[in-house]
């Protein structure tokens, strides 16, 4: 069984155990999830843009945007059937599909790809997966990519099945795609960082 199949099974199991709860998407609280959404939302001007939410979970970023009056053309994608089913029930105004964001054929080319927490579950050769995912997002988007990652702990150990990124390594890789990079890291006191990659035509 490959990583995507294992992730889908695990996510379905978590969605059954924690229905429509941030625990299912591995966040500690709704408040911390909202802070992450806020950091991503401040990175660029979302109003009127089309957005692909890669690894959307329960579709909470869609709710965040609507709550803050951000009128976006939204599509959420996740490998978990259970999470997508719950997302459709909770947010009937959103569009959600089951699929692998690395390979799926999309109904439109998004202005932005956003990914909050969708890169955090550890896989074999995860560093290579992260680079491949960011490259995929960059190829899909017409204007830019916004994502967050857990920061590698300086002292304490992290959760064993989650990926903790080295910011310098991520930044160095992102600069192979573009020099237009913005990073935010103050919203959770260095536990997490958000990255925006912008294409020249969107500046």
As a whole-number percent, the residues of the chain with pLDDT over 90 amount to 67
CB 178 within 8 A of CB 143: no
CB 49 within 8 A of CB 112: yes
Domain boundaries, the chain: 3-202
Distances (CA, A) of 77 to 118, 157, 194: 10, 31, 20
**Tens-digit pLDDT profile for residues 8-22:** 888 888 888 888 888
Position 37 pLDDT exceeds 60? yes
Maximum CA extent, the chain: 44
Position 184 pLDDT exceeds 90? yes
Lowest mean pLDDT among 56-65, 116-125, 131-140, 169-178: 116-125
Q: How confident is the model at residue 27 (pLDDT cuts 50, 70, 90)?
A: confident
Position 4 pLDDT exceeds 90? no
Find how far residue 111's CA is from the centre of its chain.
15
Which pLDDT does position 158 carry in this prediction? 56
**Tens-digit pLDDT profile for residues 92-113:** 999 999 999 999 999 999 999 9
Tell how strand 96-98 and strand 73-78 pair up.
parallel
Structure tokens at 52: 């692909």
Q: What is the mean pLDDT of the chain?
A: 91
Architecture of domain 3-202: 3-Layer(aba) Sandwich (3.40)
Position 203 pLDDT exceeds 60? no
């Amino acid at each position: 069984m490959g990583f995507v199949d294992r992730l889908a099974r695990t996510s379905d199991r978590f969605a059954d155990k924690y229905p429509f709860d941030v625990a299912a998407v591995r966040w500690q609280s709704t408040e911390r999830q909202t802070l992450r959404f806020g950091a991503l939302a401040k990175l660029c001007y979302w109003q009127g843009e089309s957005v692909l939410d890669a690894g959307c979970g329960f579709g909470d970023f869609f709710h965040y945007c609507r709550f803050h009056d951000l009128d976006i053309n939204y599509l959420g994608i996740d490998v978990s059937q259970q999470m997508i089913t719950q997302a459709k029930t909770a947010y009937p105004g959103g569009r959600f599909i089951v699929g692998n964001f690395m390979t799926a054929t999309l109904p439109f080319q998004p202005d932005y790809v956003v990914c909050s927490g969708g890169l955090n579950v550890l896989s074999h050769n995860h560093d290579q997966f992260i680079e491949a995912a960011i490259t995929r997002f960059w190829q899909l988007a017409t204007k830019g990519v916004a994502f967050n990652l857990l920061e590698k702990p300086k002292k304490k150990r992290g959760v064993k099945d989650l990926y903790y990124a080295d910011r310098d390594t991520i930044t160095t890789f992102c600069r192979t795609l573009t020099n237009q990079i913005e990073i935010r890291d103050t919203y959770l006191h260095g536990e997490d960082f958000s990255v925006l990659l912008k294409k020249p035509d969107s500046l």
